[in-house]
Chains A and B, each alone.
Chain A
Amino acid sequence: MNIAVCAKRVPLSGGRWELTADNLDIDTSGAAVGFTTSPHEECAAEAAVQLVEQLGGSSTVITLGVADSEEQIRSLLAVGVDRGVIIETDGSEWDPQATASALTEQIKAGSPEGAYDLVLLGTEAADTADFQVGIRMAHALGWPVVTNVKGMTIDGGVARCERAVGSSREVYEVTLPAVITVKDGLNIPRYPSVPGRIKARKKPVDTVTVEKPAARLEKVRLDLAVEEARSAEILGTGVDAVPALVEIFKNIGVL
């Protein structure tokens, strides 16, 4: 089975975000900002590696992003994905329609082992939260799609998918080829081992370029969320503060 994982490089901050002077992007020049793979997609890559371990085949990670996305691709290769493809951008953002269309072309092109049977990606990216790229890809490919998946088994070309609804789970089944968008919690992604990292250096990462279409969901500006400037009222230290907590429970009517 040939699996494509579409994964996105996103900024990572230990603190609050800061914006560039034109208000169009997160300022990533500061030392406090790093980059990571969008969390749902770490789980998508882990799922792909597990499925290939189980069923054979190949896994490819495809990223639309800057050349430096290779850093995130290599870390996914280090946990067992076979190869990477970067659809290289100049760092400006692609809207969800443009993103889906560029990724779809890569899926249609297939992998060196043959046509893809399964596309895995996050239900939404951590930064843009568009909730639509996987569904658009499925329509463009003429494949079925299940979203928000937190449990998945594949048997006989059929994927059985579970998604959480409250405290129970809905079950869906789709015949492959299919697009499945997953959520954090699908699995616990493994950490790359040292031999894994060494192997990853030798795995192929191809770069392709595609012309960027005009945005139809066009970013005009970003703003930092308006925070009620809040500083917690300190009720006390240690167990001495317990009576004050119980008073608050009473005051807000939960006790």
Chain B
Amino acid sequence: MSKNNWPLWEVFIRSKQGLSHKHVGSLRAADAEMAVENARDVYTRRSEGISIWVIESKNVFASDPNEAESLYEPADSKVYRHPTFYDVPDGISHM
């Protein structure tokens, strides 16, 4: 097998109408159309989805794990950001 691999793509599948696309994995394909077809064959064989997004992995820019302390920990001490500090009026269901 050739060591010249095709580009890597990240695959997102929407499982049903109204839900958002979720990352399900990655695959290799020569172009975007092939990536969608491969995603269909690899990730929707058991009726997992009704919509597919593919994004070439090199275009994903991620946060730096080394910065986790400064990025996420400050939020831990700010419980007032959660909407739990008011009484739910009677008669409101589904909360």
Q: Do A and B come from one complex?
A: no
Which B residues form the contact surface with A (CB < 8 A)?
Answer: none
